[in-house]
Amino acid sequence: MQIRDRYAPSPTGLQHIGGVRTALFNYLFAHSQEGAFVLRLEDTDRTRSDPAFVHNLYETCAWLGISWDEGPDIGGPYAPYIQSERLELYKRRARELIAADKAYYCFCSPERLETIRQEREASRSRETGYDRHCRSIPKAEAAARAASGEPCVIRLAIPLDKTTTFHDRLLGTIEWKNEDINPDPVLLKTDGFPTYHLANVVDDHHMGITHVLRAQEWLPSTPLHVILYASFGWTPPEFCHLPMVMGPDGKKLSKRHGATSIDELRRQGYVSEALVNYVALLGASYEEGKDFYTCAELAACFSLDKLNKAPAVFDYKKLAWYNASYIRMKTNEELARLALPFAVEAGIFGKTGQEPDAEQKRIFIEAMSLVKERATFLTDIPSKIAYLFSAPVLPDASEFFPKKADAHALSNAIELLTVGKNLVSRMAVMTEADAEAFIKAEAENAGVKPGDLLMPLRVAVTGARVSPPLFGSLRLLGAEASVLRVERALAKLTSDSV
């Protein structure tokens, strides 16, 4: 038997961490078993479904490297893979359930259902859901009323006074009293569209889905689905309800904990490999002592037997650590390609949105070696190297000398900058090792510490006391531009000293 699983999102919102974790686990499980991974769009919620969210789904999965073997965009043997294009199938199957006395027509108006709800609320009744009012209508009468065009829905007849039992791959055997299941839920609405429950079960059966991996929040729906399978006379797939993803406070992960949509995380400067690697670890284990995996390595190691029952805690600090680690692993060219959109948006090449010219692009690529060890997010990079593309605003004079400076600090800074001015053009053409040896020797000749000589130079060139490596910065700026930066700083300090 070929393993077949699926990711079946409803296009009613942006892709978020929980949904992506479900998609990723299904993708990894299918690949680990040489099976098929199916994408299906469950778009029966017509009021909330939006093509923009479908686009977001495709774009997000492509960015993360999650691909499918069958789906709406590529087709497959069980097409169509969009539920709104399968309506006749759901209608036919719902009518089959009525013929088998497993479902019935319900003619209750929304007003009647609301009245029941209000009466129960007023009397503080513990009853919930539908009162099964139409379940006792004779079958022939109900069929005639439906055929006459009277508005109606089709409801599933939940077996009374019984228990539904099913096996979950992670949680074991689960028993659910039928009296605790939503009473006779709607399967087919008045507009001919199915509810989630009918469409989900019918599609999983017709598409040959063998395993359903989904979040534990769907566990209460499973007894209802098992009853539906039994009503049709079908064998249900194997269920595996994945551990919940929680925030650090032990509550379900939400916006109050931080970014949850993948779009937000992308805008914050996360790289796709970090997200895939970290999300794959939420509720699953792989190799002992190994932190970094490619998608192929994750698939090779993935196993349902290595899933955790306990909820997974989403740690933004751990994700940030992964992100910084993957940034360091990038080549200069790879990192520049990823960081360039953020730099263009920040306007470091001129105006906001301005693309770099050939020379600026060359400098930008080479500058990656200066910042990759210091960046946690792609969004960190533009501000760290903006000084390479335009002269920075010079800070207050006090930034040019040590915090615990004496009354002669300003004049000392001017003197050190004057010495440094005669050195930068030479250092700008040296390797890092040669420049370091050179500055040590010159500092010794001047009777000062290398750090004291370098600090005012760093501020003059980069505009800050803390910056990417100075020697590399001089090399990228070039001798002439470096000297001009120092002269500019000297002019400022000299003016301040008057």
Per-residue pLDDT at 259: 72
Q: Does the active-site annotation cover 255?
A: yes
Indicate if 401 and 381 belong to the same structural domain. no
For residue 336, the domain's CATH number is: 1.10.8
Give the gyration radius of the chain's Cα atoms.
32
Cα–Cα distance between 6 and 21 in angstroms, integer?
Answer: 13
pLDDT > 70: percent of the chain: 99
For residue 197, the domain's CATH number is: 3.40.50.620
Per-residue pLDDT at 287: 86
Q: Is the pLDDT of residue 498 over 70?
A: no
Indicate if 116 and 231 belong to the same structural domain. yes
The reply to whether 449 falls in a domain is: yes
Backbone φ and ψ for 276, nearest 5 degrees, come out as: -60, -45
Which one of 202, 219, 242 terminates a domain?
Answer: 242
Question: How do beta strands 238-242 and 211-215 pair?
Answer: parallel
Cα–Cα distance between 471 and 485 in angstroms, integer?
Answer: 14
The confidence band for 145, taking pLDDT boundaries of 50, 70 and 90, is: very high
Domain membership of residue 484 as a residue range: 397-497
Q: Which two tokens stand for residue 424?
A: 């930068």
Question: DSSP state, 431?
Answer: -
> Stretch 208-233: mean pLDDT, rounded?
96
Q: What domain count does the chain have?
A: 3
Indicate if 237 and 133 belong to the same structural domain. yes
Taking alpha carbons only, the member of 156, 308, 161 closest to residue 226 is 156
The reply to whether 125 falls in a domain is: yes
Any idea which of 91-95, 209-213, 415-419 has the lowest mean pLDDT? 415-419
Please tell me the total number of residues recorded for the chain in this structure. 498
Residues with Cβ < 8 Å from 29, sequence gap 6 or more? 3, 5, 35, 211, 213, 302, 304
Per-residue pLDDT at 311: 92
Per-residue pLDDT at 374: 96
Per-residue pLDDT at 348: 97
Indicate if 109 and 231 belong to the same structural domain. yes
> Stretch 205-225: mean pLDDT, rounded?
96
Indicate if 367 and 405 belong to the same structural domain. no
Contact between 146 and 154 (Cβ < 8 Å): no
Contact between 308 and 243 (Cβ < 8 Å): yes
Sign of CA dihedral 405, 408, 414, 415: negative
The reply to whether 459 falls in a domain is: yes
Which region holds residue 330: left if phi is over 0, alpha if psi is between -120 and 50, else beta? beta
Span between the terminal Cα atoms of the chain, in Å: 87
Rounded to two decimals, the pTM is 0.92
Question: How do beta strands 153-156 and 103-106 pair?
Answer: antiparallel
**Residue type at position 44:** T
Indicate if 188 and 114 belong to the same structural domain. yes
> Stretch 83-93: mean pLDDT, rounded?
97
Taking alpha carbons only, the member of 285, 343, 341, 346 closest to residue 312 is 285
Indicate if 97 and 229 belong to the same structural domain. yes
Active-site pick, 139, 162, 251, 255:
255
User: Is the omega angle on the peptide bond into residue 80 within 30 degrees of 0, that is, cis?
Assistant: yes
pLDDT > 90: percent of the chain: 86
The reply to whether 382 falls in a domain is: yes
Q: Which residue matches tokens 């499918």?
A: 68
Taking alpha carbons only, the member of 430, 478, 470 closest to residue 454 is 470
Q: Which two tokens stand for residue 209?
A: 């889905």
Q: Is the pLDDT of residue 337 over 60?
A: yes
Cα–Cα distance between 108 and 136 in angstroms, integer?
Answer: 13
Q: For the purposes of burial, counting CB atoms within 10 Å of the CB of 143, is it exposed (0-12), middle (13-18) or buried (19 or more)?
A: middle
Residues with Cβ < 8 Å from 110, sequence gap 6 or more? none
Per-residue pLDDT at 410: 86
Cα–Cα distance between 241 and 251 in angstroms, integer?
Answer: 18
Indicate if 338 and 450 belong to the same structural domain. no
Per-residue pLDDT at 249: 84
The reply to whether 350 falls in a domain is: yes
Per-residue pLDDT at 252: 85
Q: Which residue matches tokens 């078993």?
A: 33
Q: Is the pLDDT of residue 234 over 80?
A: yes
Q: In 124-156, which residue ranges form alpha helices assigned H by DSSP?
A: 139-147
For residue 423, the domain's CATH number is: 1.10.10.350
Residues with Cβ < 8 Å from 175, sequence gap 6 or more? 163, 164, 165
The reply to whether 75 falls in a domain is: no
Indicate if 189 and 233 belong to the same structural domain. yes
Strand 163-168: give its sheet, edge to edge: 172-177, 163-168, 238-242, 211-215
Indicate if 223 and 148 belong to the same structural domain. yes
| CA-angle at 179, arms to 8 and 111, nearest 5° | 75
Contact between 367 and 468 (Cβ < 8 Å): yes
Indicate if 236 and 117 belong to the same structural domain. yes
Residues with Cβ < 8 Å from 220, sequence gap 6 or more? none
Question: DSSP state, 310?
Answer: S
Q: Is the pLDDT of residue 485 over 70?
A: yes
Q: For the purposes of burial, counting CB atoms within 10 Å of the CB of 157, is it exposed (0-12), middle (13-18) or buried (19 or more)?
A: middle
The confidence band for 470, taking pLDDT boundaries of 50, 70 and 90, is: very high
Q: Which two tokens stand for residue 276?
A: 């895939």
> Stretch 268-275: mean pLDDT, rounded?
97
Q: Provide the 10 A C-beta neighbour count for residue 429.
A: 12
Residues forming a β-bridge with 170: none
Helix (H) or strand (E) holding 325: helix 316-329
| pLDDT tens sequence across 444-463 | 998 999 998 999 999 999 99
- For the chain, the average pLDDT equals 94
Indicate if 445 and 382 belong to the same structural domain. no
| pLDDT tens sequence across 394-438 | 999 888 887 766 657 888 889 999 999 999 999 999 999 999 999
Contact between 253 and 245 (Cβ < 8 Å): yes
Which one of 199, 219, 242 terminates a domain?
Answer: 242
The reply to whether 39 falls in a domain is: no
The reply to whether 101 falls in a domain is: yes
Which one of 365, 387, 409 terminates a domain?
Answer: 387
Residues forming a β-bridge with 272: none
The confidence band for 197, taking pLDDT boundaries of 50, 70 and 90, is: very high
